Amino acid sequence: MESKQTNDKLLKTFLKRQAIKAALGERSQDHLPSLSAVRREEDMFMLPALPAQEEERERSSSDEEEQEEEDSRHIYQGDFYEDSNSVDINSEEFSAMPPEVKHEILKDMKEFSKRRRTMYHTPPEV
How many domains is the chain partitioned into structurally? 1
Helices (H), ranges, 83-98: 92-95
Low-confidence residues in the chain, pLDDT < 50: none
Residue-level pLDDT at 21: 81
Q: Residue 113: which residues within 8 A CB-CB, separation 6 or more?
A: 84
* Whole-number Å distance between alpha carbons of 37 and 13: 15
Distance CA 32, CA 67 (A): 59
Would 22 be classed as within a structural domain? no
Instruction: With 0.85 as the threshold, say if the pTM is over it.
Output: no
Please check whether residue 12 lies inside any domain of the structure.
Answer: no
- Any domain includes 24: no
- Is-contact 21 28, C-beta < 8 A? yes
pLDDT at 89: 82
Q: Is residue 15 part of a domain?
A: no
DSSP 57-73: HHHHHHHHHHHHHHHHH
Length of the chain: 126
CA dihedral 13, 19, 20, 23 (to 10 degrees): 180
Q: What are 49-85's pLDDT values in tens digits?
A: 777 776 667 777 777 777 777 776 655 555 555 555 6
Task: Report the pLDDT value the prediction gives residue 3, as an integer from 0 to 100.
Answer: 84
In a domain? residue 73: yes
Domain hosting 80: range is 67-120
Residue 68, number of CB atoms within 10 A of its CB: 12
Structural domain contains residue 87: yes
